[in-house]
Amino acid sequence: MALRVVFIRPSNRTGSAYLTKWGFLPAPLGLLTLAGEVIKIPGSEVKIIDMEGDSISLDKSIEMALDFNPDIVGITLHATAAHNNASYIAMKIKEKKHDTVLVAGGHHATFLPEEIIRAGFDISVLGEGDETMYDIAMAVKENKGFDGINDIVFNKKGKFVRTKPRKLVGDMDSLPMPPLELLNPEKYRFQVFGSNERVMCLETSRGCPYACDFCSVTPTWGNKWRNKSNERIIEEMKAAKKQGYNWIFFTDDIFLVYPNLKQRMELFQRIIDENINMKWIVQMRADVTSRNPEVIKKASEAGMSISFLGVESGSPQILKKMHKGEFTPQSVNAVKTLAQNNIVVLIGMMIGAPYERLRDAISTVKFSRKLGRAGADAIQFSIYTPLPGTRIFDQALNDNELFTTDWDRFDVLTPVMKTRVGPVVDQLIQFYASYSFYIYKFIFGRIKQLKLPERKKQLIDNGIEFIMNMMPAYIRDFLSFPKYIFRTYDLYSRAKKYGFVNKNDVREFLGSSNKIIYDLGKSKNPYYMIKK
């Protein structure tokens, strides 16, 4: 039989801040990867619906999915905040087409699968979905049950069935090439840096050997860092360039790790030698960056144009409690190293850890200014958020600190938990820290009359022009802020009066959030699986 599969990337209720504030919408690599698995099956047809890329409403996305007459609809919960929209889509599709198999994936589906099934899905995929999606598609095509498919939770006659874990994908090169032709590059823009910038997401590795308490990467992708070969990475970059993309966002949570710096240097040289000539964005750790300036120099020559550093806090005590494994001087040195190599530096920082004192938050705000003086160009102040699957989620449930499970608020920009300083004060500090950084950076730059190298100057000039054009929208957001503060105050006050998360939900969430989802087997090196 023919097999028709739709994959959907839903928006959050509040929309993507990257898109609305910066005009940044990278292509949905996760769905492309799954599509690559399905099209291996003879007679299959795949359609990708991207609510933000297609600029469509919830109801329109449902209509487009049903018009395809799908046997399977896969929806990625790429963020916890997408839960409510994803559930609405699933419910409406099921009402219209009862025999469609509804599959959820992503970190939220991985760690709260029973809630996912109750929301209307038939299957919740746990962890890596590549091989699992292929198995699900084959089972539907051959009209078989799902009991033999590893790493899923599914609804069997009204009961939750959890199958045994599967092993991590060991050979990343064995994954199919992402079928880039399924997407229109015109939709995936980077408008803050120009009207003709197109961004494709690619991955060169998965997993993280570190253990930050707030991060869902390690529990979702495993604590083994696994990589693709340079040959495969080059092949994917060339394919993206052929499709019309001129930016690559390498989605690796850590682009540089110590056991693989030599391979990365060889990759950078090949990019230069083969004249791929694309700009790219990466996420890196400050300690690795600061200690390896020669690697950063070569990366810049090969096209690295933007680097995101997760600095998180300006307080050494908070960094230690977060298990970040970094020190503030390393962050300053990392910013200087990147800036000296003409790389735009984006910093990630957090406000609102439950153990954070007011003076710690103030230290973080002050430290952001120091990073600005060192060369940081932009900053993202997030709210410390206990995402499902993380240690802090389990701790927040055990300590009765979550004052809401309205998943729309789990966008890492909105308080959801009781803290030492208080969620309202945290939100005020985050708001002040974000806006004041750019005011400070502008004034500091004017006073110092900073001169930028041409490549970076062009990006920054385009960014300033974009920001000036977006100023009315920023002002509207600024004026709307009291409404968001009042909402936080109201929710928190009600929770203190009427109770936080109910005990039944706590038991269920704890029962699934801290489960190990992979068959780890026996490994000589539990942290790295390096492909030469």
> How wide is the angle at C-alpha 196 spanned by C-alphas 195 and 200, nearest 5°?
115
Q: Determine which helix (DSSP H) or strand (DSSP E) holds 318, and give its type and residue range.
A: helix 316-321
Q: How far apart are CA 400 and CA 163, in angstroms?
A: 30
pLDDT tens for residues 263-284?
A: 999 999 999 999 999 999 999 9
CA distance 333 to 339: 10
C-alpha–C-alpha distance, residues 154 and 117, integer Å: 7
Tokens coding 129: 């979905």
Which 3-state string (H, E, C) describes 62-108? HHHHHHCCCCEEEEECCCHHHHHHHHHHHHHHHHHCCCCEEEEECHH
Measured CA to CA, the distance from residue 221 to residue 207 in angstroms comes to 5
By CB atoms closer than 10 A (0-12, 13-18, 19+), residue 324 is: buried
d(C-alpha 110, C-alpha 389), whole Å: 8
* E strands in 337-488: 344-351, 378-383
Please report the pLDDT score of residue 23 as a whole number. Answer: 72
Whether residue 282 contacts residue 308, with contact meaning beta carbons closer than 8 Å, is answered with yes
Q: What is the tens place of the pLDDT at every residue in 20-49?
A: 666 788 899 999 999 999 999 999 999 999
Q: Which residue carries 């999915």 as its tokens?
A: 65
Pull the structure tokens for residue 187: 């939709």
CA 151 – CA 165 distance, rounded (Å): 5
Contact 456, 344 (CB under 8 A): yes
Mean pLDDT throughout 450-456? 68
Q: Tell me the per-residue pLDDT of 351-396, one tens digit each, with 9 for 90 and over.
A: 999 999 999 999 999 999 999 999 999 899 999 999 998 899 999 9
List the structure tokens of 517: 């989802």
503-515 per-position pLDDT tens digit: 888 888 888 887 7
Check residues 460 and 106 and name the one with the higher pLDDT: 106
Domains assigned to the chain = 3-162 (3.40.50.280), 172-513 (3.80.30.20)
Supply 339's token pair.
Answer: 């800036």
Tell me the CA distances in angstroms from 87 to 313, 371, 501, 521, one per residue in order. Answer: 35, 41, 20, 34
Residue bearing tokens 């004034």: 443
Output Rg (C-alpha) for the chain, integer angstroms: 23
Neighbouring CB atoms inside 10 A of 242's CB total 10
Q: What is the pLDDT of residues 70-106, one digit of tens each?
A: 999 999 987 788 899 999 999 999 999 999 999 999 9
Residues with Cβ within 8 Å of residue 49, at least 6 apart in sequence? 6, 7, 8, 9, 56, 61, 64, 65
Query: What is the rounded average pLDDT for all residues in the chain?
Result: 89
Q: Per-residue b/e over 192-222, b at no fewer than 16 CB within 10 Å?
A: bbbeebbbbbbbbbbbbbbebbbbbbbbbbb
Inform me whether the pLDDT recorded for 338 exceeds 90. yes
Whether pTM > 0.85 for this model: the answer is yes
